[in-house]
Amino acid sequence: MPSSIRQPSLGILMACLLAACAAGPEFHRPAAPGGGDSYTPAPLPAQTAAAPGPAGQAQRFVPGQDIPAQWWSLFQSTALDRLVRDALARSPGLASAQAALRQADENYRALSGSLLTPEVGAQLGVTREKTSRLEGAGGVLNLYNASVNVSYALDVFGGNKRQLEGLQALVDYRQYQLEAVYLALMGNLVTTAIRDASLRGQLQATGEILDAQQKQLDVIEQQFRFGAIPRATVLLQRNTVAQTRASVPPLEKALALTRHQLSVYAGRLPSEPGLPEFDLASLHLPQDLPVSLPSALVRQRPDIRASEALLQQASAQIGVATAAMYPQITLTGNVGALATSFPALLHGSSSVWGVAAGLAQPLFNGGALRARRRAAIAAYEGAAADYRATVLGAFQNVADSLRALEADAAALQQQAEVEALASESLALSTQQFKLGAISYLSLLDAQRTYQQARVGLVQAQAARHADSAALFQALGGGWWNRPALPAVSTATSLPLAAGTD
């Protein structure tokens, strides 16, 4: 073969050895979805409607505004801030996510150490053996040997590089999973605290209504004793009081279960004291609501980033499966000493050494390697579909929260008007009943209407707080503006065995 042809071929081979060309596709981050600058088909108003009373302020949508890391502080509740601090220090969910991240990081370190550096080992041994007389002077002798062995697998086709890429993607996945757990914990804490406040408000409203109904029952029973009204009126009022009283235990049960859930979110046992209480009057409704640009949402949502990391890991596995179809080249070497006595190992004449190179090429395996590569491609396609589904779900979360906020404001405005009219109607009906202008059934109807309106007003106020928190959560919660999370202490730990690192 002419040297002009042979030399370029050798150069190409050496270039591949040095560059360690990586088999499989190069991963490219998916582009942000289109759709313009809006999350909803119709544009959002500049601000929501306003209503009188607590939680009735108009909220302004601010496109492009960044989200603070401690977004829950916008509710201006010291009890909520204290609850969040407790949860960050004690949450088992955060502790588990942090441990999973450390595990993935150490697995990456372990494999990178074995793939990127030569494997070096030392050996010291003694052998006692009897040789055959046919080989010469037969007899029993001792052989002492000491050696250092070096082995290195050349990553010619980038299989090792792709393995490391996949493991790094899993580290990234665990990192974003940790952020997702953190975001979910903060969102659950805030919304559960708001539910706590809502149930307390409903209990308070029901209790005030029950007191008023009981006072009215006392008056009616006195009128009945004087023969001014029939017994049927007394029975109707007693039934009304009983129905209102019957609505209290379900609210108390819901409040107790909410408190238990709040304790668990904070890393406490339900029986532990010190859990703060909440009421709607102590919660400030955030006035300015940030609305991230749709193109930025894919970088802000930790669930999207985690899905992207899995997509990259699946891409790297295609490269690993592809590289397995090509030759594997291994270089080995050893240097040491071999002698019949231990002191003789130190003499230069006892030195031995050896070098070797090996090449392994799969020839026939029943199509297993090609099938594994096709399986890796199918896994990548599945991960791509999962990523798309995650993005769609995230955009739906934001769109739902924005429309909910707009609807909540309008609902509170209407509910405040309903409550005001119901209160005025009840006062008028009560006066008319005392004068005998209306029947007791008309008064009873006014009482029920006011009771429903009062409880509905509390629920509408709580909905504005809860959906404000849901928007911050849907937009990613500002985790990128937060320093690294401190390690969460765990109550249970296993002692390491003696001699471990």
Is 447 exposed, middle or buried (CB count within 10 Å of its CB: 0-12, 13-18, 19+)?
buried
Q: Are the C-beta atoms of 298 and 97 separated by less than 8 Å?
A: no
Give tens-digit pLDDT for 144-188: 777 777 776 666 777 778 888 899 999 999 999 999 999 999 999
Task: Say how far apart CA 217 and CA 265 lie, in whole Å.
Answer: 43
Write down the pLDDT at residue 447.
Answer: 86
CA end-to-end span of the chain: 58
* The predicted structure's pLDDT at residue 104: 92
pLDDT of residue 495: 47
d(CA 497, CA 501): 9
pTM of the model: 0.82
Query: What are the pLDDT digits (tens) for 244-256?
Result: 999 999 999 999 9
Q: What is the phi/psi pair of residue 300, to 5°?
A: -95, -30
* pLDDT single digits (tens) 262-297: 999 999 999 999 899 999 999 999 999 999 988 899
Q: What is the pLDDT of residue 345?
A: 67
Structure tokens, 166:
């996949």
Please check the confidence at residue 493 and state whether its pLDDT lies above 80: no
How big is the chain, counted in residues? 501
Query: Position of tokens 């080992």?
Result: 121
Rounded distance between C-alpha atoms, residue 38 and residue 440, angstroms: 54
pLDDT for 160? 79
Q: What domains, with CATH codes, occur in the chain?
A: 30-118+157-326+369-481 (1.20.1600.10)
How far, in Å, CA of 228 to CA of 222, rounded?
Answer: 9
- The pLDDT of residue 264 is 94
CB-hemisphere CA count at 13 Å for 283? 28
- pLDDT over 60 at 424, yes or no: yes
State residue 321's pLDDT score.
87
Give me the residues paired with residue 153 across strands.
330
- Report the SS3 class of residue 59: coil
Structure tokens at 36: 């313009």
Please return the burial class of 453, using the count of CB atoms within 10 Å of its CB with bins 0-12, 13-18 and 19+. Answer: buried
What SS3 class is residue 140? strand
pLDDT interval class at 428 (50, 70, 90): very high
35: left (phi over 0), alpha (psi -120 to 50) or beta: left
pLDDT at 14: 40
Indicate whether 102 pLDDT > 50.
Answer: yes
Q: How many CB atoms are closer than 10 A to CB 85?
A: 11
Average pLDDT over every residue of 293-302: 92
pLDDT surpasses 70 at 483? yes
Residue 32, classed as helix, strand or coil, is coil
HSE toward the beta carbon, residue 496, CA cutoff 13 A: 4
Backbone phi, psi, residue 62, to 5°: -115, 95
pLDDT at 392: 94
CB 146 within 8 A of CB 336: yes
Helices (H) and strands (E) counted in the chain, each on its own, are 10, 6
- Do 23 and 157 contact (CB within 8 A), yes or no? yes
Higher pLDDT, 194 or 217: 194
What is the per-residue pLDDT across 35-70, written as a single tens digit (0 to 9) for each?
667 888 888 889 999 999 889 999 999 998 999 999
pLDDT band at 131 (very low <50, low <70, confident <90, very high): low
Q: What is the dihedral of CA 367, 368, 374, 376, to 10 degrees?
A: -160
Across 190-194, 330-334, 467-471, least confident range: 330-334
Angle CA(223)–CA(227)–CA(233) in degrees, nearest 5? 60
Cα–Cα separations (whole angstroms), residue 495 to 106, 499, 501: 19, 12, 12
